[in-house]
Structure 1
Amino acid sequence: MSEDRVRVRVGADGVATVTMVRTDKHNALDQAMFEGLATAAGRLAEDTSVRAVVLHGEGRSFCSGLDVASFMGGEGGTDVLLAREPGRLANVAQRVTYDWSLVPAPVIAAIHGNCFGGGLQIALGADIRIAAPDAKLSIMEVKWGLIPDMGITQTLPRLVPIDIAKELTFTGRIISGSDAAAIGLVTRVEDDPLAAAHALAGEIAQRSPDAVRRAKKLYDRTWVSADAAAALVLESDLQTELIGQPNQIAAVVAGMSGETPRFVDPV
């Protein structure tokens, strides 16, 4: 069933497209969708041919959030979402957001229609978010007497000040894609966010995958870190891994000759 909820396609250019497919429910999150997203992230994390990932929802919306009704009739209810496998940092619900950070390649979310609750937290798990101006976004959990608990502590602090985070969380207010861009919740707005996401992914795919992957690793590990010493050492360590390697040399040759570089898959 999870294969029916999430479709993964990897193009010849190394751009992977991950599509949430539950159009009749605005791609609301049921158990199969959770499983499908986690499986997709795990697969792409292991695929060295992937240069960038585009994540989007089919139909009228990106993702309208948790389908509570689908869990009420199942064994264990929503408690199954709080289960944590041995050795995993994130629980079942958190994995559909946190696991995108474990994908070495950049992940770009293309947001349209409704992007509520868990759906917004999935988008926040991406490295870059491109939204339609009229998309509707909300940290909606307070509407149901809950808190956002799908990895938002690892994503939202990197995007907005704490007062904005609190306002959006305390009220569950719905904002437009344009308003979200103005406060930094999304990267930018485009009339066709999916086309823009693919264009950006294609541009990234033309860069050295070794450098792009290490740049993601560098920022993810240090962006809100107060440990300056560790961050500076990591910069040096990652750079040392790149210098003189085939893809770094290919980038230099291409930069000096103007020719298109030919990169190999990362090791």
Structure 2
Amino acid sequence: MALEVNPAGRVSITLGEDGVAQVRLIRADKMNALDPDMFAALIDAGRVLHDLKGLRAVVLSGEGRSFCAGLDLTSMANTGRHDRTPLTERTHGNANQPQQIAMQWRKLPVPVIAAVHGVCFGGGLQVASGADIRVIDPAARMAVMELKWGLVPDMGGYALWKGLVRDDVLRELTYTNREFSGAEAKELGFATYVDSDPLARATAIAADIANRNPHAQRAAKRLFNRYLEVGVDEILMAESVEQQALIGSRNQIEAVTSQMQKRKAEYVDP
């Protein structure tokens, strides 16, 4: 089932029968660079996905030669900044609009897997970093690009890279804008897997996720979104709250029963 997201045609969403949504940036002629329409389309995509019935996992990728080349500086220079709202104003919960297009993948209730190929610079790298899991082509070209233009990463990068990239490595990459390859990305902390067919690998991971108890997957993501930020006492209680809600539930019993009967589980979606 294909879903209409934005009339500018910047993002497509296709929901499969298994509950996996393929979300694709579709501005291939500009290597999916971020212009005002792409910003708006990504925000719309996040809204659609957040409330999408039957959604169990998301695969995020880019059409054409690249995942995302980052900010379209020419477009921004011609049209002015995409949104004149002060960046300090929180327009999307704890984020502004540029931050939301990267942070929203963490905020979605289901796991998100990014499939990265070609160029992934600046804002594109921050969008990919919002995913729970990243599969990156070894030939991909990547960089924390913002200081090249006299700016700092400001689309959630500092929040998203925490716990992923070693602090001194991140500082060096940010200060120098040094380009690195997809093959290097795993060692640096940006990649979960390096694969020459990232979309196929990401889709396989998403399909595996979709075969698990969807209520437990969502509970696990809620815990992951908290565990780096809160104290031991709070995360221990959060674990207990989530587990208590799952034990004995219809889907939890089905998870056990299907395993014992060696058959595909039939879950009820949240």
- Given the two structures, how large is their TM-score scaled by the length of structure 1? 0.95
In angstroms, what is the RMSD of aligned CA positions?
A: 1.6
Residues 23-71 of structure 1: CA distance to partner in whole angstroms, max 9, x if unpaired? 1110000011011111111111112311100000000000000012212
Secondary structure of the equivalent of 2:162? helix
Q: Which amino acid aligns with 2:213?
A: S
2:187 counterpart of 1:182: yes
2:9 counterpart of 1:4: yes
Quick one: which of 247, 256, 262 aligns to 1:258? 262
Distance in 2 between the 1:111 and 1:235 partners?
A: 32
Distance in 2 between the 1:88 and 1:82 partners?
A: 13
When you count helix as a share of all residues, which structure comes out higher? 1
Quick one: which of 31, 38, 46 aligns to 1:33? 38
- Identity of counterpart residues, as a percentage? 46
- Aligned residue in 2 for 1:62: 67
Unmatched runs of 5 consecutive residues or more in structure 1: none
Answer whether contact 1:2 1:35 (CA < 8 A) is retained. no
1:154-165 residue pairs with structure 2 within 5 A? 154-165=159-170
Unmatched runs of 5 consecutive residues or more in structure 2: 1-5
- Given the two structures, how large is their TM-score scaled by the length of structure 2? 0.94
2:219 counterpart of 1:214: yes
Distance in 1 between the 2:159 and 2:57 partners?
A: 21
- Aligned residue in 1 for 2:237: 233
Quick one: which of 202, 211, 217 aligns to 2:207? 202
Answer whether contact 2:92 2:100 (CA < 8 A) is retained. no
Q: How many matched pairs?
A: 265
After TM superposition, the runs of 4+ consecutive aligned structure 1 residues lying more than 6 A away are none
| 1:17, distance to aligned residue in structure 2 (A) | 0.6
Q: Which amino acid aligns with 1:199?
A: A
Name the CA shift for 1:7/1:193 in 2 (closer, same or farther; >3 Å): same
Distance in 1 between the 2:34 and 2:46 partners?
A: 16
| 1:226, distance to aligned residue in structure 2 (A) | 4.9
Secondary structure of the equivalent of 1:259? coil
2:22 counterpart of 1:17: yes
2:253 counterpart of 1:249: yes
2:143 counterpart of 1:109: no
Distance in 2 between the 1:260 and 1:77 partners?
A: 47
Name the CA shift for 1:235/1:210 in 2 (closer, same or farther; >3 Å): same
